[in-house]
Structure 1
Amino acid sequence: MSFTVRGGRLFRDGQPFLAQGVDYHPSEAGCRIWTEWDPEAIAQDFAGMAGAGLNTVRFFVFWRDFEPEPGRIDKEMLGRLRHVVDTAAAADLACVVSLFTIWMNGQLIDPAWREGRSLWRDGDMLALEEEFATAVAREVGGCDNLLAFDLGDEIGCVDPGEAAASTLAEVAGWQARLAAVLRLEAPDVLVMQANDASGVLGPSPFGADNSAALDLIGVHGFPVWAPGSIESTLSFKATNLTSFLVRYACAYGVPFVDELGSYGVDDATAAAYLRASAASAIGNGASGILVWCWQDIASEAEPYTDRPMERFAGLHRLDGSAKPAMRDYRRVVGAAPELAVRRPRPSVAVYLPQWVRAAGRSYLDNGVATVATFFSYLLLKRAHLDFDIVADDLAGYDLVVCPSVAHVTLPDLRKLRAVCDRGATVYFSLGDHLHGFPGEPLVGAEIVDHSPPSDGKSAFRWDSDEWAVDWAATRTRTTTLRPTTAEVIGRYPDGSPCLLQNRVGDGRFLFTNVPFEAQLDRPERLTAAAWECFYRRIAGVAGIAPVADCPDPDVEILPADGADDRRFVVVNHAATPSDTEISWSGGTVRVELAAKDWTIVHVPPDREDR
């Protein structure tokens, strides 16, 4: 049997496969799984996973246990690894094996002999990594339940300074080098890299957009550590975070959520977070969901001595009893084939400029702009407008959204010009007036100058609609525009233009110098007003309406592409119940959802209404 990826999906022996499982440390041994060896406990845990309907387990190879001295790989440890993979196979569990595990739960579990040398740029270390990867792949690469090798859990955290100093090319080269070694020994096993949210929302070179050598793009869904103003674990933003990371990764490959969970919350909150975020992530295209983690940890050894609260994020308590989150996870697992919708091709694309995730390299640069992309995602969800997130080909989209752009390149501008030339609409909001401005030919206006924020630009109006602007939430300077060829369709209170429509080719370019998405990055601001109405109006200019709609903006609607059965996955991202109606061209259906709950609505093709 073998695992493959194609068309953005994961397959096992040619059949679609959705990985549903957990991350795993034995409760008693914790991170000493290999040195405090207890195969009976592992077998019992794996049987419990299978009994709960799970099909995948991820575990961690602590490098120092397997290679106590440089060049001396412990054969007994390799045998234990093989035993764990075989034990998983006996329970019908696929395995994700995380190599080069050094960083874990906020601490380094480091081979003493590494002596701080770079994992990515030191030649001797690279040679040792190749030897170790070869040994592991030879030991377990032929196991038909081995889904993927993870090159190392959040490995950039091993040495953040060294990671920040590494170029994209160096990190990509490291991934390609190790992936080639693994594939040589285990050609049927996929390769991935597990990264925290900085791989999308931060400047880390270990990112979704720098994963060309990998088969799967790993993302981690922990709202408490995500940048931006996520107010709480039960906020609208929090349970949309993982699905956003999934959709962002879709622009570059096949997304795989290899860690999903919540910290610092009670059992009820953890369950609510898991049920909404897991259902949404699967509906938005995740090829796998692995929850952190199987059971609370009894071990008090490192890293739990320094961070004891890391021990209590399991789906089961120390006594083995299931927490409420396990019940909700089992419900998601049972419905996963229906949650994994194949969406119809949308008319809207959110465009990722070349430098959207680039770190500031000098005083000229404004830094990472993907938090604005996250807010654009949230606005489109609240407006019930289906969309793709796209980094390259914009052909076929009728509306291209460019949110709070901080840096635009000539290749970006050529792509946007081509969108307009073929008759489509581009919406572009300004995130930096120097390097984010797309130029007078597209905008149909010039920037006169910048100035400090004032009451004269504290809001903007489009016909009868008005929205306040929080300039302090952004890094954007206030600017004044002088129209040349553009039509002014929105103004500030001081009368100056703030929203322009310019005819370009057979299409139009809508431009605002308001960083509309970035200025929403304040606690509670997104849900305090109907900001999504601005996006609805933009879509209306492009002649686009939701495929399915409802009056509750906290409710996510995911339409499925099926000729025989119209299906909607509906997720309530609010912390309160929702009683609403889902409407589409063929009818309306009432949907009642508890807080952070989800359902699947089936509507036969001949259905009119009820």
Structure 2
Amino acid sequence: MSFEIRDGELWRDGTPFPVAGVDYHPSAAGCRIWTDWDPSALRRDFRAMADAGLNTVRLFLFWRDFEPAPGRHDPVVFDRLRTAVDLAAEAGLACVLSLLTIWMNGQRLELSWRSGRGFFDDAQLLERQRAYARRVALALRGAGNVLAVDLGDEIANVDPGAARLPREAVAAWQTGLAETLRAELPGLLVTQANDASGVLGAAPFGPDNATGLDLIALHGFPTWAPVSIESTSCYKATSLVPFLVRYARAFGVPLVDELTSYGTDEATTAAYLRAATASALGNGAAGVLAWCWQDIASTAEPYQQRPGERFVGLHRLDGTPRPAMAGLRGALRAAPRLRPGPGRAPVALYLPERARVDGGSYLDTGVGTVATFYAYLLLKRAHLDVDIVAGDPTGYRLVVCPSVGHVTLTDLDRLAGAARHGATVYYSMADHLHGFPGSDLAGAEPVDYTLLTAGREYVEWDADRWAIDWAGAGVRPSVLSVTTGQVLGRYPDGTPALVRNAVGTGQVVFCAAPFERQLDVPGRLTAAAWEVLYRRVAALAGLAPEVDCADPDVEILPGRAGDPHEVLLVNHAPTARRVQLRWQPPAGRPVCQEVVLDGKDWRLLAGPRELRPDDVPSVHQQPAPY
């Protein structure tokens, strides 16, 4: 195979390969691609994709068409698969192939012979999966344009009970099937695509449980996000998939395998794709596959049940492109320049070991990654570049650990180690017992909890004040007594809310309120300057944004791969913004530069000439400070 993962990036034949492509059903055949076979339609569409500057197409292998009866593989359909892959190669396209396709557009295109057997635990069905995978691999031998095989799109939806499977069982299933494929096709890259529940829910299918995979395929549609995204046009909508990308980078190489919006007009869809694509690539995605190439003329299943799924194509039924196509092409063409540069960001957003575990008992406060999402947004709004980190955060200047409901000894050891080595650790608490980091870190100890929120309506630090919605967060306040710490902020009743505590050569800033978790309410994030708290904590760490502006809706990503002094700007607001960028050199006065961005638009911008000498490195190129 000509594709490989090298230094956390996707390469083809010794060259970086940013994936720029689409998901594909032929318009006339729809999901009957393998039975209503029309190779001329595939040839025409593949050539059009290549002419549009795309380099990858994703095809869905509906298992029931390839194996209509248990153990009976249809040789004609397997020949058609190889023909499709070869036609893509003729057009210069790589292929991502979704192997065990049953779930599609909200419907199960089921095997007639499965008869209710468990998809992940029935021995006979597991053997049929392995045999089918081997037969697919046999059909692909010698094809040099297979980028990856996806084990199955949103595969958890095939069995309603899959969300309750043990994580170990899911990891073993993925690893076993991946090894089956690689045994026939050495070097094959394997992935498995999941929606946002693999990050923002407790499902065992997700980036943090993908050790047997080479790529982490993910997508998240604002319409069905498990967080409060007010609309497709809102700030949070185009920040969702970039957050999923950053999260996945903590565990591997992320690939956005589906990207579009549903229930929106053409202008809204175009704006969404434009900003979300650029931001996803800028935050480290190996590439983007947009959903989907063309509207579907077919009325066969699943479209008779969900006809609205037919009209989300980048091209209309008559083949004319929608406005979204131009914006997508622009972002994908720039993909090599949008990629982040080498090195780490100055800020680590730390993932506690049990952040995505919901024990389901009265002791648990639920999944913690919703707070991670809001912490990510606050850092972005403060223009502080961030890595999401699932292991040891030592070496980062600022470590953010938001609204913790369940902390382990391993977590505490890691955070204490980072502080002892000079980091500022910001830690906010969602559970006064299982989320409390201990008095050695907090510089305070709990006295009691209370259900009475009067007198604790906000946190005040000098002239800054932030309201706390305890009921919205589903958290009860705690009463603190300061031990070794220094009070930075208080509740209206005078009790401590923010405590600063020296640990080793660093410090911990402990927030006794679920600051991030309480933001998951429609309209709340953008209604106040919540990010000011993060700016002030960063200042305690001696950190300021490398490039800054006064508008929190504009994302600033410094240090691009093509030029360490180039920044990517993404306007996540639906309206145009005029901003004054402030570039802070290592010494001297800031340099300002005015930029105008249309709504949901992006731009690559070179730094001012006076800040571009070869001896002034980007912060991303500097070694870790500790």
Q: Distance in 2 between matches of 1:22 and 1:563?
A: 25
1:553 aligns with 2:537: no
Compute the displacement of 1:396 (Å).
1.1
Q: Distance in 2 between matches of 1:264 and 1:222?
A: 11
Other-structure match for 2:346: 347
Compute the displacement of 1:14 (Å).
1.7
User: What residue identity is the alignment partner of 2:249?
Assistant: C
1:93 aligns with 2:97: no
User: What residue identity is the alignment partner of 2:44?
Assistant: Q
Other-structure match for 1:436: 435
User: Compared with structure 1, are the counterparts of its residues 389 and 564 closer, same or farther at alpha carbon in structure 2 (3 Å cutoff)?
Assistant: closer
475-484 or 247-256, larger mean C-alpha shift: 475-484
**Secondary structure of 2:449's partner?**
strand
144-153 or 221-230, larger mean C-alpha shift: 221-230
Q: Distance in 1 between matches of 2:104 and 2:60?
A: 9
**Secondary structure of 1:179's partner?**
helix
> CA offsets, 1:37-60, max 9 Å, x none?
111011111111001000000010
* Aligned 8 A contact 2:336 2:562 in 1: no
> CA offsets, 1:511-552, max 9 Å, x none?
111100011111111111111101000101111110110111
Other-structure match for 2:220: 221
* Aligned 8 A contact 1:565 1:604 in 2: no
User: What residue identity is the alignment partner of 1:71?
Assistant: G
Q: Distance in 2 between matches of 1:303 and 1:311?
A: 9
1:181 aligns with 2:185: no
Compute the displacement of 1:76 (Å).
0.7
Q: Distance in 2 between matches of 1:8 and 1:401?
A: 24
> CA offsets, 1:42-84, max 9 Å, x none?
1111111001000000010000010011111111110000000
Other-structure match for 2:588: none
Q: Distance in 2 between matches of 1:453 and 1:244?
A: 35
364-373 or 202-211, larger mean C-alpha shift: 364-373
235-244 or 356-365, larger mean C-alpha shift: 356-365
Other-structure match for 1:50: 50
546-555 or 446-455, larger mean C-alpha shift: 446-455
**Secondary structure of 2:410's partner?**
helix
Compute the displacement of 1:436 (Å).
0.9
User: What residue identity is the alignment partner of 1:43?
Assistant: R
Compute the displacement of 1:172 (Å).
0.2
Q: Distance in 1 between matches of 2:609 and 2:176?
A: 51
1:70 aligns with 2:74: no
User: What residue identity is the alignment partner of 2:139?
Assistant: E
Q: Distance in 2 between matches of 1:159 and 1:313?
A: 26
Other-structure match for 2:617: none
Other-structure match for 1:591: 595
> CA offsets, 1:363-397, max 9 Å, x none?
22222111110000000000000110000021210
User: Compared with structure 1, are the counterparts of its residues 264 and 112 closer, same or farther at alpha carbon in structure 2 (3 Å cutoff)?
Assistant: same
* Aligned 8 A contact 1:458 1:493 in 2: yes
User: Compared with structure 1, are the counterparts of its residues 141 and 474 closer, same or farther at alpha carbon in structure 2 (3 Å cutoff)?
Assistant: farther
User: What residue identity is the alignment partner of 1:442?
Assistant: L
Compute the displacement of 1:507 (Å).
1.4
Compute the displacement of 1:165 (Å).
2.5
User: What residue identity is the alignment partner of 2:77?
Assistant: M
Other-structure match for 1:500: 499
Q: Distance in 1 between matches of 2:609 and 2:541?
A: 28
* Aligned 8 A contact 2:558 2:564 in 1: no
336-345 or 130-139, larger mean C-alpha shift: 336-345
Structure 1 unpaired stretches of 5+: none
Other-structure match for 2:10: 10
User: What residue identity is the alignment partner of 1:421?
Assistant: R
**Secondary structure of 1:92's partner?**
coil
Q: Distance in 2 between matches of 1:564 and 1:328?
A: 23
Q: Distance in 2 between matches of 1:23 and 1:372?
A: 31
1:326 aligns with 2:325: yes
* Aligned 8 A contact 1:343 1:559 in 2: no
Compute the displacement of 1:2 (Å).
0.9
* Aligned 8 A contact 2:420 2:503 in 1: yes
Q: Sequence identity, in percent? A: 58
User: What residue identity is the alignment partner of 2:131?
Assistant: E
Other-structure match for 2:103: 103
Other-structure match for 1:298: 297
* Aligned 8 A contact 1:153 1:193 in 2: yes
User: What residue identity is the alignment partner of 1:128?
Assistant: R
User: Compared with structure 1, are the counterparts of its residues 347 and 255 closer, same or farther at alpha carbon in structure 2 (3 Å cutoff)?
Assistant: same
Compute the displacement of 1:266 (Å).
0.3
561-570 or 357-366, larger mean C-alpha shift: 561-570
Which 4+ stretches in 1 moved above 3 angstroms?
Answer: 561-565, 604-609
Q: Distance in 2 between matches of 1:141 and 1:106?
A: 32
* Aligned 8 A contact 2:560 2:568 in 1: no
Compute the displacement of 1:450 (Å).
1.3
Q: Distance in 2 between matches of 1:288 and 1:608?
A: 29
**Secondary structure of 1:114's partner?**
coil
317-326 or 553-562, larger mean C-alpha shift: 553-562
Please give the TM-score of this superposition, normalised by the length of structure 1: 0.98
Compute the displacement of 1:573 (Å).
0.5
User: What residue identity is the alignment partner of 2:107?
Assistant: Q
86-95 or 443-452, larger mean C-alpha shift: 443-452
1:603 aligns with 2:607: yes
User: What residue identity is the alignment partner of 2:598?
Assistant: A
User: Compared with structure 1, are the counterparts of its residues 488 and 603 closer, same or farther at alpha carbon in structure 2 (3 Å cutoff)?
Assistant: closer
**Secondary structure of 2:193's partner?**
strand
Other-structure match for 2:24: 24
Other-structure match for 1:144: 144
Other-structure match for 2:119: 119
Q: Distance in 1 between matches of 2:135 and 2:397?
A: 51
* Aligned 8 A contact 1:416 1:426 in 2: yes
Compute the displacement of 1:141 (Å).
3.8
254-263 or 449-458, larger mean C-alpha shift: 449-458
Q: Distance in 1 between matches of 2:234 and 2:84?
A: 38
Other-structure match for 1:79: 79
Other-structure match for 2:157: 157
**Secondary structure of 1:234's partner?**
coil
Matches within 5 A, 1:342-381: 342=341, 344-381=343-380
* Aligned 8 A contact 2:194 2:206 in 1: yes
1:395 aligns with 2:394: yes
Q: Distance in 2 between matches of 1:178 and 1:605?
A: 53
**Secondary structure of 2:393's partner?**
coil
Q: Distance in 2 between matches of 1:209 and 1:95?
A: 25
Matches within 5 A, 1:128-143: 128-143=128-143
Q: Distance in 1 between matches of 2:603 and 2:71?
A: 53
Compute the displacement of 1:434 (Å).
2.1
User: Compared with structure 1, are the counterparts of its residues 424 and 231 closer, same or farther at alpha carbon in structure 2 (3 Å cutoff)?
Assistant: same
* Aligned 8 A contact 2:337 2:561 in 1: no
Q: CA RMSD in A?
A: 1.4
Compute the displacement of 1:25 (Å).
0.4
Other-structure match for 2:616: none
Q: Distance in 1 between matches of 2:190 and 2:153?
A: 13
Other-structure match for 2:41: 41
Compute the displacement of 1:117 (Å).
1.4
Q: Distance in 2 between matches of 1:469 and 1:475?
A: 11
Q: Distance in 2 between matches of 1:146 and 1:35?
A: 22
Structure 2 unpaired stretches of 5+: 586-590, 614-626
Compute the displacement of 1:337 (Å).
1.8
User: What residue identity is the alignment partner of 1:512?
Assistant: C
> How many residues are aligned here?
608
Q: Distance in 2 between matches of 1:235 and 1:387?
A: 22
144-153 or 600-609, larger mean C-alpha shift: 600-609
> CA offsets, 1:330-363, max 9 Å, x none?
1112222211231552221000010000123322
Please give the TM-score of this superposition, normalised by the length of structure 2: 0.95
* Aligned 8 A contact 1:443 1:509 in 2: yes
Other-structure match for 1:407: 406
User: What residue identity is the alignment partner of 1:595?
Assistant: G
Compute the displacement of 1:95 (Å).
0.1
* Aligned 8 A contact 2:104 2:302 in 1: yes
Compute the displacement of 1:193 (Å).
0.5
Matches within 5 A, 1:207-606: 207-342=206-341, 344-560=343-559, 566-586=565-585, 587-603=591-607, 606=610
